[in-house]
Amino acid sequence: MKKVAPFVGALLVVAGMAAYLIYGYTCEELEDGNKVFANPLRWTIGEKVPKEIFDQAQSLSQGQRLEEGPADDLFFSNVPELPIYTGVLTRVDDVLAPTGVTKALFSHFNMLVNFTTNPLSNYRAKVGLIVTNNTGIPIDVYMRRNAKGVNVDEKDVRLLQDDLAPRNPATNEDIYYGSQLGNKVVHEFFRSVSQGETKVASLRPGEDYYWYEKAGTRAWAIGMAEFVFRDSTSGKILKQGDLPASQGIQMRSFICELSTELKEFSRWASGPETILNQSDYEHIHMRGLISAGINRTYSVKYDARKEGLRSLFLGPGLKDGTDSSVAGTARYKPEMFLNDKVGGIDKYGHIAGQQVKELPVENNGSYGIEYQIEIDAEGPFAIAIQAAGAGYEQFGKPKVDLYNQWMTAKLDDEVRTLTFRDPNYWSYFSDFSKLGPLGTGRVFFAVDQRGHHQHTLSLILPPNNYAPYRVLLMPVSRW
């Protein structure tokens, strides 16, 4: 037997001690309650990744174009974000897609006001979607991936509380930003793929299907689902162009008092005068139908041993009409894909009496858009994600919830949600100088496979998250 093993073992011990002195061992509890110990030799799932490492990466997205996936439609409802009146939030008279698959996303905060009380109070509410069969044939409604939820239930019991902001002394109110719920919905949406396609309703012409949540006062309500509509007689999936121009599958997002009977509400809300306009302070028109770019793909060949750090920038952010993916604008980021921005049409963009004005859809961050990064890998590698950085200001400094961000990602069949919380988050108002710089990331996946292997990374920006954000491919080993 050769006597080289002790020598090699000693070298490994020395290397490990050196790594410990450089990096140190740290322990952190993950969102699922598990504890993660940082390994000084290899990146560990959940471990924090410094901004400097992301900054060293070579961009794979700069100057490149995303490929278009299946041509689904997206019914998008995000304004008015904080409705105070009962009504329709978004309306599209025909949501049939070229593929026959329509994704719907709604995200709203129940601020319904009871104007009959002194002082004013808030109503509990129903928030969700109405699907109406405005065709001449009976149809069956199916759902594929889907998830919805609230952070305060109809009994005003708070269900989620980890996205609470530090109290602003000027208002002394508890504010929950909804990012925890947004990530919970996306997490469950990804996992629901195992359910397959489920029939949820059979509708005769003129009938409705209701998909909604019961929300407490001052509660976030978020839902995302893939719908398929079939001819009840033939079983054929209905697609764009299959019906006469005067017919369609209508979809409306809505909010109403909890006690409201939905059939009566649907009849009342049949006219455009019941559609709520976005608030004056909402400068980006985040509602309507998006008919292109709902599914984006990009293929990457990656050998961590040879290529080191590589990054992708996703989800263009909009601010005051500027676009972070377009050169010459105030927020231009050259690392963005050239065609990342998506848009559409809201035929009921603004209602003024009998006047209906069409407006373009602006999707600030590409909410509801699914990115699939096909990774053709050689050897072990890790994937880290960096939360959005500065660019959203309030009180003359980055917004408070930028220091407590969340993110959800799926690699093959594994879904993970992690947070990006500054250790001194609660000092935001009392001593802002304690907070660190934005831009820290976390390791989401570690693929410890040798040889050639392939993987699919799926990403959807959860409601109430910020964009753009960065994805990093890196060697599992630190050395």
SS (H, E, C) the chain: CCCCHHHHHHHHHHHHHHHHHHHCCCEEECCCCCEEECCCCECCCCCEECHHHHHHCEECCCCCCCEECCCCEEEEECCCCCCCCCEEEEEECCCCCCCCEEEEEEEEECCCEECCCCCCEECCEEEEEEEEEECCCCEEEEEEEEEEEECECCCCCECCCCCECCCCCCCCCCCECCHHHHHHHHHHHHHHHHHCCEEEEEECCCCEEEEEEEECCCCEEEEEEEEEEEECCCCCECCCCCCCCCCEEEEEEEEEECCCCHHHHHHHCCCHHHECCCCCCCCCCCEEEECCCCEEEEEEEEEHHHHCCEEEEECCCEECCEECCCCCCCCCCCCECCCCCCEEEEEEEEEECCEEEEEEEECCCCCCCEEEEEEEEECCEEEEEECCCCCCEECCEECHHHHEEEEEEEECCEEEEEEEECCCHHHCCCCHHHCCCCCCEEEEEEECCCCEEEEEEEEECCCCCCCCEEEEEECCECC
Query: Is pLDDT of 457 > 70?
Result: yes
> Average pLDDT for residues 316-337, to the nearest whole number?
71
In this predicted structure, what is the pLDDT of residue 12?
37
Chain centroid, CA 282 distance in Å: 19
Does a structural domain hold residue 289? no
pLDDT at 30: 62
Nearest 5 degrees, angle CA 223-CA 85-CA 166?
65
Domain boundary among 220, 244, 276: 276
If you compute the radius of gyration of the chain from its CA atoms, what whole number of angstroms results?
24
Residues 317 and 197 in one domain: no
pLDDT of residue 389: 82
Domain membership of residue 7 (yes or no) is: no
Amino acid letter for position 297? T
**What is the average per-residue pLDDT within 52-79?**
95
Mean pLDDT of all residues in 160-166 = 97
Q: Are residues 37 and 151 in the same domain?
A: no
Domain tally, the chain = 2
Out of 219, 243, 276, a domain closes at: 276
Q: Is residue 4 in a domain? A: no
Residue 355 lies in a domain: no
**Against a cut of 0.75, is the pTM above it?**
yes
- 322 shares its domain with 468: yes
Query: Is 1 within a domain?
Result: no
Residues 116-129 have a mean pLDDT of 97
Q: What is the per-residue pLDDT for 316?
A: 83
Q: What is the pLDDT of residues 336-358, one digit of tens each?
A: 999 998 999 999 999 998 899 99
How much is the average pLDDT of 129-155? 98
449 plus 302 within the same structural domain: yes
CA 474 to the chain's CA centroid? 24
**CA 232 to mean position of chain CA atoms:** 33
pLDDT score at 4: 36
Residues 32, 143 within the same domain: no
Task: Give the pLDDT band of residue 20 (cuts 50, 70, 90).
Answer: very low
Q: Is residue 73 part of a domain?
A: no
Note the pLDDT tens digit of each residue in 394-415.
Answer: 778 999 999 999 999 999 999 9
State whether 96 and 32 are in the same domain.
no
Are 452 and 378 part of one and the same domain? yes
The whole-number pLDDT of residue 23 equals 37
Residues 62 and 92 in one domain: no
- Domain extent at residue 419: 23-67+295-344+364-474
At 37, the pLDDT band (50, 70, 90 cuts) reads low
Inform me whether the pLDDT recorded for 212 exceeds 80: yes
Classify 265 in phi/psi space as left (phi over 0), alpha (psi -120 to 50) or beta.
alpha
Flag whether pLDDT at 272 surpasses 90: yes
Mean pLDDT of the chain: 90
Share of the chain above pLDDT 70, in %: 88
Q: Are residues 106 and 46 in the same domain?
A: no
Are both 61 and 89 inside the same structural domain?
no
Residue 358 domain-assigned (yes or no): no
Q: What is the pLDDT of residues 229-255, one digit of tens each?
A: 999 999 999 999 999 999 999 999 999
Residue 416 lies in a domain: yes
Q: Give the end of a domain, one of 223, 249, 276.
A: 276
Q: Are residue 268 and residue 394 in the same domain, yes or no?
A: no
Same domain as 415, residue 314: yes
